[in-house]
Amino acid sequence: MAFKKNQTVTVEITDLTDLGFGVGRVDGAVIFVSDTVPGDLIEAKIIKVNNTYLVGRAEKNIRVSEQRVTDRCPERACKSCAYKNISYSDEATLKEEGVRRLFSSSALAGISTAPITVSPNATRYRNKAQYPVTLAGGEYRVGFFAPKSHRVTPVTDCPLTPSIFSEICAELCGFFKEHSISVYNEESGEGLLRHIYLRRGEVSGEVLLTVVINGESLKNEDELAKRITERFPSVVGVLINVNRESTNVVLGDVYRTIWGRDHIFDTLAGVRLKITAPSFYQVNHASAELLYAKAKELAKPQKSDTLLDLFCGAGSIGLSMADSVGELIGIEIVESAVECAKENAAKCGIENAHFFTGDATETERLLANAERQLGRKITPDIVILDPPRAGCDERLVRFVSTLNAKRIVYISCNPKTLARDVVLFRDLGYDTDTVYPFDLFPMTGHVESVVCLTRRLDN
C-alpha cells in the first residue's frame, strides 16, 4: 500500500524504542508514533513517509494500554525521557530484552544476558544536570531540549534530579531577570547565557555550580555567588565556563572560579574522590556502587596483578580495586580529571597507582611513555575499559588484544557499540559468555552493561 503524508491510519502499538517512540505496523509497514506505549490502539496521522518506515502523530486513543502510567513525571510537556509513560518494572524488562536482542546475533552466539540489575532509586538519582537557558515573554526559564531539536522545553522540577537543582535554577533565573542578562541565540551567535551546569556529591551533599556563557564574564558575578551560596550553603563552588563556539557541545575548555572551590568531594565504592566540573563521574551513585562491585567480581584482581584502567576519569573504578592489585595504571584524556585521580590516590593512601594524561586511543604510545617514566616494563594482567557511547576505536581494541591480559572488563553505556566491540575482541582471541545489564538511567532509553572478556587458552 502506498502511504501519503497526512493520511490517517489505525494502528496497535506493540513495542517501544529507546527514544520513546511506540512501534506498530500498518499493512506491513513499520510506523513510529511518539507518546504511545505497547497496548495502545490509536488513530495516527502520518507526518513522514520514508522508504523503510513511517512516522506518525497520535490523533485519537481508541484503546488505552494497561501499561500506560501518568505518575512518573509531572512535566508532561517534556519529551526528554523515553519511558516516562510506562512503569519502572516494564521499563526494566524492555531494557533487558533490548540488550538480549543485541547479543543474540550469530556473531555473538553463546553469550547469554543476565537479568538486569535495576536502580535502587528510580527518581532523584542524577548527581549531574545541564540546563539550557531560555527567555520567553520576559521570563527566564531552564529546561531541556526537545528531541532532535534545540527548542527548549521549560521544566520546573525534573523528577530525576535532586530538588535543590530546581531551587538553584529558580534563584538564578530570578537573578538573571533582575539584571536583564541576555540569553544566547544560536542563529545570531549573540547573547550571553547558555547553560546552567550542576553537580552534587551523593554522600557529601556538596554542590558545584557552573554558569556557561558566550563571553568572558557575567555581570555582577560576585553578587550572584554571594546570593546563591548564602541561600544554599551546600554550594561549595561557583564557576564560569566560557563557550564561544557555535557548537552542540555544552561546555567550553576554559573554567574560572568566582567563589569557593572548583571541585566537590564524594565517596564511591569506598574511595573518597575529588571531582572537578569536566571530570567523568557516574550520574547514579547507588547503581554505580552495584556496577563497580560486579566489575571487581569479574576482574578477579590479585596482589600479583597489574591493572590498566582506560578512560579512568577521576580514577573511581581503578582506585576501588587498587588494594587488591600490585599496581594500577590509569589513562584519561581530561587533564583536570587526571590531577584529581592522583590527588584521590594520595588522599586515600594508595601508593601503587599511577595516572597519565592522554587519549586512550593512543594507549600504545602512552604506555611506552609511562614505561620510560617508571623505568620498567608495564605488563597488564587486567584491563578495564569504560569508553564513551561511541565505544572503543578499532585501533585501541586491536592494541589491547596484543597486551595478552588475562581478563578485559568492559563497561559500556551503549550496548550497540559494546556488541560491536565484543565481536572484534572475539575475532582477536577474547571470549565472554555473559553480558550483565545495569540500569543507571531510569526513565531514559540508556542502559549500562558490563562483560568480562577472557583470553582463549589456544590464543
Tell me the β-bridge partners of 274: 265
Residue 443 and residue 337: Cα distance in Å, rounded?
A: 29
Whether the Cβ atoms of residue 117 and residue 437 lie closer than 8 Å to each other: yes
397 burial type by CB count under 10 A (0-12 exposed, 13-18 middle, 19+ buried):
buried
CA distance 225 to 257: 10
Under DSSP, is residue 222 helix (H, G, I), strand (E, B) or coil? helix
pLDDT digit string, tens, across residues 52-81: 999 999 999 999 999 999 999 999 888 889
Which of 202, 228, 391, 352 has the alpha carbon at shortest distance from 289?
202
Contact 338, 313 (CB under 8 A): no
Cα 448 to Cα 67, 116, 388, 440, distances in angstroms: 24, 10, 11, 6
Between CA 46 and CA 55 the distance in angstroms is: 6
Q: What is the pLDDT of residue 341?
A: 95
Question: Annotated catalytic sites, by residue?
Answer: 413
DSSP 381-445: SEEEE---TT---HHHHHHHHHTT-SEEEEEES-HHHHHHHHHHHHHTTEE-SEEEEE-SSTTSS
Residues in a beta bridge with 43: 10, 60
**Following DSSP, what letter does each residue of 56-112 receive, concatenated?**
EEEEEEEE--TTB-SSS-S-TT----TTTTB-HHHHHHHHHHHHHHHTTSGGGTT-E
Q: Report the greatest alpha carbon distance in the chain.
A: 72
d(CA 437, CA 98): 10
d(CA 382, CA 110): 23
Provide the β-strand partners of residue 267.
Answer: 272
Residue 459: per-residue pLDDT: 58
Task: State how beta strands 430-431 and 448-455 pair.
Answer: antiparallel
- pLDDT digit of tens for each residue in the chain (459 aa)? 688 999 999 999 999 999 999 999 999 899 999 999 999 999 999 999 998 999 999 999 999 999 999 999 999 888 889 999 999 999 999 999 999 999 998 889 899 999 999 999 999 999 999 999 999 889 999 999 877 777 888 899 999 999 999 999 999 999 999 999 999 998 899 999 999 999 999 999 999 999 999 999 998 999 999 999 999 999 999 999 999 999 889 999 999 999 999 999 999 999 999 999 999 899 999 999 999 999 999 999 999 999 999 999 999 999 999 999 999 999 999 999 999 999 999 999 999 999 999 999 899 999 999 999 999 999 999 999 999 999 999 999 999 999 999 999 999 999 999 999 999 999 999 999 999 999 999 999 999 999 999 998 765
CB count within 10 Å of CB 136 equals 10
Q: What is the pTM assigned to this prediction?
A: 0.92
Domains of the chain with CATH codes: 8-63 (2.40.50.140), 106-119+268-455 (3.40.50.150), 128-262 (2.40.50.1070)
As a dihedral over the C-alpha atoms of residue 152, residue 156, residue 159, residue 163, rounded to 10 degrees, the angle is 130
Give the cell for residue 259.
567563589
